[in-house]
Structure 1
Amino acid sequence: MSLYEKIQNDMKEAMKSRDMLRTNTLRSVIAAVKNFQASSEENRKGEVKDDTVIGLIGKEVKRREESIEAYVKAGRDELVAQETLEMEILKGYLPEELSENEIRAVALKTIEDLKANGPSDLGKVMREVMIRLKGRADGKLTNKIVRELLESR
């Protein structure tokens, strides 16, 4: 069963149990997938891959993180709680994030493979590292680690 099918089934179960928070959260993911499919002819033809769904869920999580920041600044505690709960539901569908040491190991290997010499190669290295990590690491943390490693060269 694909991740997308699992999300659809989980949403049906949430609807049956009248869990509106989970239902609405999973609906947002399904809507994101459908928007992705509608975005091009190529996307409409094929089945949605798990990597694509993971990327879309990652974007939904990031959107909620940004909302939480804004609500904290505005003093809207009830909305912070709502967004936090939604974010936790979404994180349950993402692969476990790598530790800082694991990210560092992937980044070092990538730098060696690409023969990167310094900070000027940051873009090239980041592209490759993010492909290799496939959504299992936070982009900001990864960028910080890659930047440190390149500056020490």
Structure 2
Amino acid sequence: MDYETILKNDLYAAMRANDTLRKRVIRLLMSSIELAEVAKGSKLTDSEFIALVQKEIKTKNDTIADAEKANRPEMVREQQAEIKVLEAYLPQQLSEAELVQLAEEVIQETGATSPKDMGKVLKVLIPKLAGRATNQDASRVVKECLTKLS
């Protein structure tokens, strides 16, 4: 099933269950998808859909940081709940060990030997992740692995 069908089915299920949080988040996501498709001029690919969901999650995390600074615990809880709904549309995330293993394989593949080669490694690693880990996590793991080598 494609992401549009999944979202529509989930929206109908949330409407039947009277789950206002899920309804709101799914509608927000569908709206973001529609805007991205209009801007692109065609339907989003699965990788573009995953990137869009990750962008929405990043926005929610930024809002959480701002809400914590402003001492707004109710907003923090609401944003965290929305993130949980959005994460359901991402592929299964890699464990830390799997990410380290993949990073080490790419480091050997590229012949990287020091943290200076980090960009070269990330250029190969990030497409292999395909939404199963954040770029921030990938960067952190690659840096740790390269630091151990040097």
TM-score relative to the length of structure 1: 0.88
SS state at 1:98 partner: coil
Q: Match of 1:61?
A: 57
Structure 1 residue 51, shift from structure 2 partner:
2.2
Matched, 1:26 2:26: yes
Q: Match of 2:69?
A: 73
Structure 1 residue 138, shift from structure 2 partner:
2.6
Structure 1 residue 40, shift from structure 2 partner:
2.7
Matched, 1:6 2:6: yes
Q: Match of 2:79?
A: 83
Q: Distance in 2 between matches of 1:9 and 1:49?
A: 19
Structure 1 residue 3, shift from structure 2 partner:
2.0
* Structure 2 spans left out of the alignment, 5+ residues: none
State the 4+ residue runs in structure 1 displaced beyond 3 angstroms.
Answer: none
Q: Distance in 2 between matches of 1:60 and 1:8?
A: 18
Structure 1 residue 140, shift from structure 2 partner:
2.1
Q: Distance in 1 between matches of 2:37 and 2:137?
A: 30
SS state at 1:39 partner: helix
User: Structure 1, residues 69-124: CA drift from partner, whole Å, max 9, x if none?
Assistant: 11112111111111111111111121221111111111111111112232222112
Q: Distance in 2 between matches of 1:40 and 1:117?
A: 39
Number of residue equivalences: 149
Structure 1 residue 57, shift from structure 2 partner:
0.9
Q: Match of 1:119?
A: 115
Structure 1 residue 22, shift from structure 2 partner:
0.9
Q: Which amino acid aligns with 1:85?
A: A
Q: Which amino acid aligns with 2:52?
A: L
SS state at 2:133 partner: coil
Structure 1 residue 68, shift from structure 2 partner:
1.0
Matched, 1:110 2:106: yes
Structure 1 residue 52, shift from structure 2 partner:
1.9
Structure 1 residue 61, shift from structure 2 partner:
1.2
SS state at 2:92 partner: coil
User: Structure 1, residues 111-143: CA drift from partner, whole Å, max 9, x if none?
Assistant: 111122322221121122111011111322221
Q: Distance in 2 between matches of 1:100 and 1:17?
A: 35
Q: Which amino acid aligns with 1:26?
A: I
Structural RMSD (CA): 1.6
TM-score relative to the length of structure 2: 0.89
Following superposition of structure 1 onto structure 2, how do residues 47-58 of structure 1 map, counting pairs within 5 Å? 47-58=43-54
Structure 1 residue 49, shift from structure 2 partner:
2.5
Q: Match of 1:142?
A: 138
